[in-house]
């Protein structure tokens, strides 16, 4: 039995290649059906396709034949030349394949280590394959265990605790100042991508009141509608500031949108209740001296980058602990797999030695003359007893070793030494 992973990811292929090989969620089942029909040598398969990877996880009898089938499939259905595909794909077998999936599910193989989205994508891919009955005993166990690995990594390490995007870092800083954000009012100045990302993070943290102000009022309305917020006309911005606990600004304006004198007035109108300003614009939107005002906390994009860089270092440190979990779980998977394979291996061994015994016995009996039926029976019993005693120790020891991390090695050795094919 062979487990393989064949595909491309952000480490091996540029975006133009990943785009060609990308398979949307709507088409994954169609592609699985194609593989089921045209690749009978691939017994189980799961297709995982995201913006950063397209990978096929499979159980195959023969690695070479299985990979050739997958290559033909990707070339035929994605209109890509075989020579081009060869430059960017990778093949992982057995332990490497299992370790890879566990790292993918735990977000140790992501472009941003620790990002949570990939686990959900792995679960969706697995669900699609199960619904089409494209998985069996082995891949079912493998993917279910990958979810356990991801859960252990998140609960036993701090890999997901530190913000590694500017927008997320901004929200994390707000939490440190205010603690609970649920009852806070947030003003978003601008409506670009970073502002939108910040809004998503804020909503995920329980913020319910979001105001959006933008020079193009229609864009403010669109973004506010998306988050059940309220659009504010840009020329009325100063009137609304006193309502806001958190202000996040990214407009691209050539001058300050919020000056110190305005902030002094606003904080007085708020009876000195704290305000948190996050300026992620270049050039800056908020006058730096706002930070000198009591109960005003101002962070600009450089402050946030410093937070992100420190957090990336911390995530790298936590990733080492996470990889120890992966190594342990890989060993556990192969202990399970060895138990699954040990019975067929023993049956194969008995069949093999019985075939040899029968051939040699028949050959010998043909050469002997005048041997009675009773003597033939005694000779046969003797050969059976000899064979059973010869294989007794290997069988007992193999069963014992199947319960250890060395089991897979011993199973492979048994198959190799006795020339077992199945």
CA 147 to chain centre: 9
The span from the CA of 154 to the CA of 198, in Å, is 23
**Has 51 been annotated as catalytic?**
yes
The span from the CA of 226 to the CA of 229, in Å, is 7
Both tokens of 409, joined, read 């090695």
Residue 3 near residue 94, CB atoms below 8 Å: yes
Both tokens of 98, joined, read 């299992």
DSSP 292: G
Q: Which residue has the tokens 């990978």?
A: 55
* DSSP β-ladder status, 246-249 and 185-189: parallel
DSSP 163: -
- At 52, is the secondary structure helix, strand, or coil? coil
* 3-class DSSP string for 360-419: HHHHHHHHCCCCCHHHHHHHHHHHHHHHHHHHHHHHHHHHHHCCCCCHHHHHHHHHHHHC
Both tokens of 16, joined, read 């133009």
- Strands of the 246-249 sheet, one edge to the other: 230-233, 209-214, 185-189, 246-249, 275-279, 296-300
DSSP H helical segments within 157-192, as ranges?
Answer: 166-178
The span from the CA of 160 to the CA of 314, in Å, is 10
Residue 278 near residue 248, CB atoms below 8 Å: yes
Q: Which residues are CB-neighbours of 233 under 8 A, at least 6 positions away?
A: 213, 217, 220
- Neighbouring CB atoms inside 10 A of 290's CB total 24
Both tokens of 190, joined, read 């601008």
The span from the CA of 223 to the CA of 231, in Å, is 8
DSSP 87-133: HH-EEEETHHHHHHHHHHHTTSSSSSTT-SHHHHHHHHHHHHHHHTT
The span from the CA of 403 to the CA of 406, in Å, is 8
Out of 51, 75, 244, 296, the active site residue is: 51
Residues designated as active site: 51
């Amino acid at each position: 039995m062979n487990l393989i992973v064949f595909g491309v990811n952000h480490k091996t292929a540029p975006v133009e290649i990943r785009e060609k090989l990308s398979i949307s969620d709507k088409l994954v089942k169609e592609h699985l059906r194609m593989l089921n029909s045209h690749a009978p040598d691939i017994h189980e398969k799961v297709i995982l396709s995201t913006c950063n990877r397209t990978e096929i996880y499979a159980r195959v009898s023969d690695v070479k034949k299985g990979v050739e089938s997958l290559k033909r499939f990707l070339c035929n259905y994605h209109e890509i030349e075989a020579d081009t595909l060869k430059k960017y794909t990778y093949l992982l077998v057995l332990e490497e394949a299992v370790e890879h999936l566990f790292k993918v599910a735990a977000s140790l193989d992501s472009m941003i280590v620790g990002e949570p989205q990939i686990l959900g994508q792995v679960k969706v891919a697995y669900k699609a394959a199960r619904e089409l009955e494209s998985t069996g005993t082995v891949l079912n166990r493998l993917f279910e265990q990958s979810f356990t690995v991801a859960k252990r990594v998140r609960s036993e390490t701090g890999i997901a605790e530190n913000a590694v995007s500017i927008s997320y870092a901004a929200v994390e800083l707000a939490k440190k100042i205010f603690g609970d954000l649920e009852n806070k009012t947030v003003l978003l100045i601008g409506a670009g991508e970073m502002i939108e990302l910040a809004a998503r993070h804020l909503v995920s943290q329980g913020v319910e009141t979001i105001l959006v102000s933008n020079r193009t009022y229609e864009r403010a309305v669109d973004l506010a509608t998306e988050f059940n917020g309220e659009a504010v006309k840009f020329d009325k911005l100063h009137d609304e500031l006193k309502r806001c606990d958190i202000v996040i600004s990214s407009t691209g304006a050539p001058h300050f949108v919020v000056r110190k004198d305005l902030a002094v007035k606003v904080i007085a109108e708020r009876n000195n209740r704290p305000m948190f300003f996050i300026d992620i614009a270049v050039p800056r939107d908020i006058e730096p001296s706002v930070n000198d005002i009591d109960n005003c906390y101002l962070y600009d994009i450089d402050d946030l980058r410093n937070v992100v860089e420190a957090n990336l270092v911390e995530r790298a440190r936590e990733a080492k602990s996470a990889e120890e979990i992966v190594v342990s779980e890989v060993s556990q998977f192969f202990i399970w797999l060895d138990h699954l394979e040990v019975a067929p291996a023993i049956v194969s061994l008995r069949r093999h030695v019985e075939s040899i015994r029968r051939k040699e016995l028949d050959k010998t009996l043909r050469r002997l003359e005048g041997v009675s039926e009773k003597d033939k029976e005694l000779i046969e019993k003797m050969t059976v007893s000899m064979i059973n005693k010869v294989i007794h120790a290997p069988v007992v020891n193999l069963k014992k070793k199947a319960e250890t991390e060395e089991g897979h090695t011993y199973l492979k050795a048994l198959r190799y030494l006795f020339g077992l094919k199945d």
